[in-house]
Amino acid sequence: MATRTTSAPRGSSNSKPAGAGSGSGSGRTPAKTGRSGTGTARGTARGKQAAVVEPQQPWILRAIAGVWLGIGHVVGAGIRRIGYDVSDLEPADRRDGAALFNLALGVFIATFAWWGFKGWFPDVVYGIVNGTFGWVSLLLPLMLFVCAFRLFRQPADSRGNNRVGIGFLIMTFAGTGLAHILGGQPTVADGFDGLRRAGGMLGFLAASPLAAIHPAVPVMVYGALAFVSVLIVTATPFGAIPRRIRGAYEHLMGVDLVDAEAQRGDSHDRSYLYENAATEAPKKKRRKRFFGKDHDDATFEGYVGDEAFEHAIVDDDLPPANGAPSVPPGVRRPTQAEIAVEKIKAAQGLGSPKAVADNATEAIPMVAPTAALSPAAAPVIVPSAPVSPPPPPTPIPQRTEQLSLAGDVTYTLPSSDNLTPGSIPKERTEANDAVVAALTDTMQQFNVDATVTGFSRGPTVTRYEIELAPGTKVERVTALSKNISYAVASSDVRILSPIPGKSAIGIEIPNTDRETVSLGDVLRSQNARRTDHPMVMGVGKDVEGGYVVANLAKMPHLLVAGATGAGKSSFVNSMITSILMRATPDEVRMVMVDPKRVELTAYEGVPHLITPIITNPKKAAEALQWVVREMDARYDDLANYGFKHIDDFNKAVRAGKVVPPVDSKRIIKPYPYLLVIVDELADLMMVAPRDVEDSIVRITQLARAAGIHLVLATQRPSVDVVTGLIKANVPSRMAFATSSVTDSRVVLDQPGAEKLIGQGDALFLPMGASKAMRVQGAWVTESEIHRVVEHVKGQLKAVYRDDVAPEAQKKQIDDDIGDDLEVLLQATELVVTTQFGSTSMLQRKLRVGFAKAGRLMDLLESRGVVGPSEGSKARDVLVKPDDLAPVLAAMKGQDAPASPDAHTAALSENANANIAVGGYAEDLVATDLENRKQARDYHDGADTSEDEDDTGEDAWSLTGR
């Protein structure tokens, strides 16, 4: 993912014969040229250049150059289409002439060096090449082919091309030196034949001076140089060698394992769907292996406009809108009777369970109606969809990437071993049989003609399917909801009528034996492997046991809500860990807002962050305003360069097609996705409701095309937090258990979330879906998070921007001091100089009432001047008289110390050094007595001189509360 900023080299390449002039003219579409002044200016400049250069060339030269470039374009077009197609290179960007030259030279040298062609001309050239390079000339065609291939396919990557070229030059030089030693160190006296059999003339010149010291010296020097040249050609920094070797191994192994999985027709994901995409995945991986393409997924490579029926869930095989599962061509779907007979046979021990499991991957999850049973057979209810086993813990091929935003760092994504596999899910337990019996019983008791035909067991709940006899109303079953709850002894029964895509009623009942869904399993599932998009996250498992994986970029903004302990933070952790597992900091950057201060601390310092985790709600509001500014800047670029989506823009930048204006020093780089995570929206809405709402609405309305996505989590889904405006603009919702049906309506616009059973049980409503999908959220343990974060931080340190949530220039005087600043300063001075933290002393010396003195003491405590109340004793004074000045300055809102937290921390360091009472022991006894009396008076309402609502901590403790 090297950034290509190629204005200068490309400019010069255009002065090459014909191709440049004609190419730039023909290749640049009028629309694109017209989009920006820059483009036009550039085009004009080129035109002028061509006008000056071309007439000076004799026609014969131009004709030859034209033919040469014509052949070059034809060959280049072919080579660009191999594997991953890059044939959309603009003609102006191509270097086909130079590439063809490399190719032709390689072929020419190969004709005699490899294939032994004879003739006077080949002999002459062979003599020159072989005499110069010795047997290293055998490698020359290979090097030239590699250069030609790169020039055809990546002409704009001039930095990379130069690197490879220089690497090959060093390799050739070192190779000839080594060849000279290994070839027996011939001298000039041995003639050219002798030199040819070793390292040629170049090898002789390179090695003989060093060999004069000792023959081992050139071997060591040129051996090291050859090694370095391999590192240069492969762009491998020294420190990354072990990782590269490991990455290459995993890459290769991963491909093979994916192949193997595909051959097995592995079906861990939605088992009721056909796994035809399994064959697609290895193809993509193979492409990736050969062409070093990092993102073979079209959705990431370039945004090609909105897709029809776009959905956030990554699952190629989602059933079409009418609910019928898709069937690959040429595959016959078994009839329901066939499936049913198979399953019933299996359930009765008449068929091999394996046969059923195998069939199930091709079958609609159904169980035979009772009529299909033989009269003698008891109705046996079996799971409709076999539970998918967790994906084998095969490593996801590790991706190693050259980062450009971070200054050409080689970055390896964390290995999938960091996430441990989950337990094997159960397909059916005794609890399920008991529930089937209870449901059947209830139906019979109330004379409802309906049958339990099957069930699908998910990690948290099992969905039992009920089919009605003809003429039976659906309402007859839904009206039984309370009776069903009673019969199965669970209050969290949820009825779906119908199950989307089926003519059956679904009754979801919590499993008494819940299973944890491991994030590792979700990320290793076929659905997650289907795409390399960096914004894909592991959501969890649905009720049928299928892995749910979603693309945050397509949501495009997500609201996560639920009561305390319902699983929001765990979900946010899974989301962030998914991103860290799959995306480099070049691809995704994050802003984390965590007013609760504890939830996201584990991620502090990851290079994906652009600012330290923001814990202060006021700063969070500022950060949102920064996001708006960032969005505007991105939009400006999109508008200036004529792109509709940031993916298109990035693609063009990577291809070197976006150049800054001629007089600009700006280096244009691809924009990473920006994921803004707010872990408690309510805290932000409390400090600056209007600003926060404005920013959120602006971001959510526009940011999608700019690659900016918001995730807002809250445990208070009430209308004052999730306002109508916010809701209208955050289309995807993840509702964990809510405390009331009203909250459920706020989050989902429908009831249901109040029936969830907490701890990761959620209703997921991605943008565009009409029905919420019940999922058990993926779970990632703290140690897993720690491992992933350590790996990520070990690769690259976070580089924070300082304009996202800047420190305030001047600390504002805190609101809670209000008009009391003057008297608070006096109180501070008094307490610090006397080193005596007594409320009654403040009363006497400052002539204030008890309540006011108590309040001042509270303010002093909150600013770290005194310690907490210790009943009737005076408080510890934590500030030394020497430190009085900066403390007073801070209270006045002057420079040092910068923040109350830093101030408190600085003060607490001094805490131990403080002496409590000093020479005021006598005073203390007297003031305490006075204190108690006044407190009693106050409590009885006798002291009316001060603010009555404001009772200090001393007052409460003295009045015995």
Name the residues that contact ligand ATP, by CB under 6 A.
516, 562, 564-570, 715, 759-760, 777, 779
Known binding residue 177? Answer is no
Residue number with CB closer to ligand ATP (504 or 775)? 775
Distance CA 628, CA 856 (A): 40
Distance CA 381, CA 455 (A): 8
Residue number with CB closer to ligand ATP (544 or 599)? 599
Residue number with CB closer to ligand ATP (567 or 607)? 567
Beta carbons of 312 and 555 less than 8 angstroms apart? yes
Known binding residue 793? Answer is no
Distance CA 857, CA 835 (A): 13
CA distances from 693 to 619, 704, 806 (A): 15, 17, 20
The minimum distance between CB 747 and ligand ATP, in angstroms, equals: 13
Q: Is 809 strand, coil or helix?
A: coil
Beta carbons of 633 and 703 less than 8 angstroms apart? no
The minimum distance between CB 783 and ligand ATP, in angstroms, equals: 14
Residues 6+ apart with CB under 8 A from 440: 451, 452
Closest CA to 808 of 621, 594, 592, 590: 621
Known binding residue 564? Answer is yes
Residue type, 184: G
Residue number with CB closer to ligand ATP (93 or 679)? 679
The minimum distance between CB 688 and ligand ATP, in angstroms, equals: 21
Distance CA 172, CA 195 (A): 15
Instruction: Count the neighbouring beta carbons within 10 Å of the beta carbon of residue 855.
Output: 27
Residue number with CB closer to ligand ATP (199 or 717)? 717
Residue number with CB closer to ligand ATP (412 or 759)? 759
The two three-digit tokens of residue 127, written as one number:
């003599």
CA angle 45, 47, 48 (to 5 degrees): 65
The minimum distance between CB 736 and ligand ATP, in angstroms, equals: 6
The minimum distance between CB 224 and ligand ATP, in angstroms, equals: 53
Distance CA 291, CA 299 (A): 18
- In degrees and rounded to multiples of 5, residue 713 shows phi and psi of -110, 140
CA distances from 520 to 270, 574, 576, 790 (A): 17, 10, 13, 17
Residue number with CB closer to ligand ATP (269 or 683)? 683
Longest dimension (CA), the chain: 122
Q: Is 186 strand, coil or helix?
A: coil
Residue number with CB closer to ligand ATP (566 or 773)? 566
What residues form DSSP beta bridges with 457? 462
Beta carbons of 804 and 789 less than 8 angstroms apart? no
The minimum distance between CB 500 and ligand ATP, in angstroms, equals: 23
The minimum distance between CB 693 and ligand ATP, in angstroms, equals: 21
Residue number with CB closer to ligand ATP (510 or 567)? 567
The minimum distance between CB 751 and ligand ATP, in angstroms, equals: 20
Residue number with CB closer to ligand ATP (200 or 562)? 562
Distance CA 313, CA 270 (A): 12
Residue number with CB closer to ligand ATP (177 or 752)? 752
Tokens 């006011």, residue located: 852
Tokens 């006798």, residue located: 942
Per DSSP, helices labelled H in 325-480 are 336-347, 353-360, 430-445, 474-478
Residue number with CB closer to ligand ATP (5 or 759)? 759
Beta carbons of 171 and 143 less than 8 angstroms apart? yes
The minimum distance between CB 780 and ligand ATP, in angstroms, equals: 9
Expressed in percent and rounded to 5, the helix, strand and coil fractions of the chain are 50, 10, 40
Beta carbons of 827 and 860 less than 8 angstroms apart? yes
Known binding residue 187? Answer is no
Residue number with CB closer to ligand ATP (525 or 569)? 569
Distance CA 599, CA 616 (A): 14
CA distances from 575 to 291, 419, 550, 672 (A): 30, 14, 10, 17
The two three-digit tokens of residue 79, written as one number:
């080579």
Known binding residue 867? Answer is no
The two three-digit tokens of residue 295, written as one number:
């993102």
Closest CA to 20 of 109, 102, 116, 90: 90
Q: Name the closest residue to ligand ATP (Cβ).
A: 760
The minimum distance between CB 883 and ligand ATP, in angstroms, equals: 37
Distance CA 466, CA 457 (A): 15
Rg, C-alpha atoms of the chain:
37
Residue number with CB closer to ligand ATP (4 or 733)? 733
The minimum distance between CB 714 and ligand ATP, in angstroms, equals: 9
Provide the sign of the torsion angle of the four alpha carbons 151, 154, 159, 160, taken in this order.
Answer: negative
The minimum distance between CB 742 and ligand ATP, in angstroms, equals: 18
The minimum distance between CB 546 and ligand ATP, in angstroms, equals: 16
Tokens 């109606």, residue located: 369
DSSP 818: G
Torsion of CA 125, 131, 134, 139, to 10 degrees: -20
Known binding residue 378? Answer is no
Known binding residue 302? Answer is no
DSSP 847: T
The minimum distance between CB 267 and ligand ATP, in angstroms, equals: 23
Residue number with CB closer to ligand ATP (710 or 737)? 737
The minimum distance between CB 570 and ligand ATP, in angstroms, equals: 3
The two three-digit tokens of residue 675, written as one number:
């994921």
Provide the sign of the torsion angle of the four alpha carbons 157, 161, 164, 170, taken in this order.
Answer: negative
Known binding residue 569? Answer is yes
Please enumerate, by residue number, every residue annotated as part of a binding site for ATP: 562-569
Please enumerate, by residue number, every residue annotated as part of a binding site: 562-569
